[in-house]
Structure 1
Amino acid sequence: MNPETAGDDEFLAAVEAATWPGERFGHREHVRLGWLYLRRHGPEAGYARIQGTIQRYATSLGAAGKYHETVTRAWSAHVYRALRETPEVEPFDSFLKAHPELLEGGLLTRHYRKETLDSEAARREWVAPDVSPLPAFP
């Protein structure tokens, strides 16, 4: 499998099997995972898959403590908002071109203070925004 050319199904299968290279699973790949699951399974089931897959993947890389519930849910809310706005846009690269804000690393600072996101509570469980509301997400 070539990470540069992997199609959606190949990407998803590799992440689910924890064979996707860890050094190649950055922010863009997190967004891609969310886009795929939310498109295919809807917000509730899709989010459950996002949580489980990221947790299993991180554990397989020896980085179980890196999973962050609040960050995962907040980014999922943004991906879901973008998906609702442009449900027909694919492939993923076209979706990102339509929604370049999804690649902005600081997007969550619009919604959270740094101390809030850095807290252990926010890592373990969902913490509501303390700056401005997130897009609607079940």
Structure 2
Amino acid sequence: MNDRDFLLQFDNCTLPPELFDHKAHLRLAWLQIKEYGLEQALKNCGEQISKYASFHGDHQKFNMTITNASVYAVNHFMKDENSFEEFIEKNPQLLSNLKALINSHYSYDIFADKNARELFIEPDVQPFI
């Protein structure tokens, strides 16, 4: 699926949930950063993923802190790649080890923090930027 169709289907919640996996989350972040920059991408991704999860009855899976941390991670590794596929080929650790990368910024397991679902909790070990 091309980027335009991916964004359109995601935005109008017609992207099948089985296609919105971990890699698709990273793709969304990459596309948003490329188009709008980091600050707007953080806002857009949070709003869009929350809306998408609610629409598909999975709002309990949404986590604002993990969403923002993932956007920060994608931004950190972005260089001058021309496509998401090129980006992910250069940064496979984002597919295989993102949880550990995010947890390295916190002194506790942020994935288990109930408050992290609804609001962004700043890292307490190392800032993202």
Matches of residues 102-113 of structure 1 in structure 2 within 5 Å? 102-103=94-95, 104-106=97-99, 107-112=101-106, 113=108
Correspondence for 1:33: 28
Q: What SS does the aligned partner of 2:37 have?
A: helix
Distance (whole Å) between structure 1 residues aligned to residue 127 and residue 82 of structure 2? 24
Residue 92 of structure 1 deviates from its aligned partner by: 0.9
Structure 1 segments unaligned to the other structure (5+ residues): 1-5
Correspondence for 1:122: 116
Residue 119 of structure 1 deviates from its aligned partner by: 1.6
User: How high is the sequence identity, in percent, across the aligned residues?
Assistant: 29
Match of 1:96 among 80, 88, 101: 88
Residue 97 of structure 1 deviates from its aligned partner by: 1.1
The one-letter amino acid paired with 1:21 is: P
Superimposed CA distance per residue, residues 102-128 of structure 1 (whole angstroms, 9 cap, x where no aligned partner): 1124322222322x3312111111112
Correspondence for 1:55: 50
Alpha-carbon RMSD:
1.4
The one-letter amino acid paired with 1:98 is: K
Correspondence for 2:67: 72
Residue 31 of structure 1 deviates from its aligned partner by: 0.3
Distance (whole Å) between structure 2 residues aligned to residue 78 and residue 105 of structure 1? 8
The one-letter amino acid paired with 1:122 is: A
Structure 2 segments unaligned to the other structure (5+ residues): none
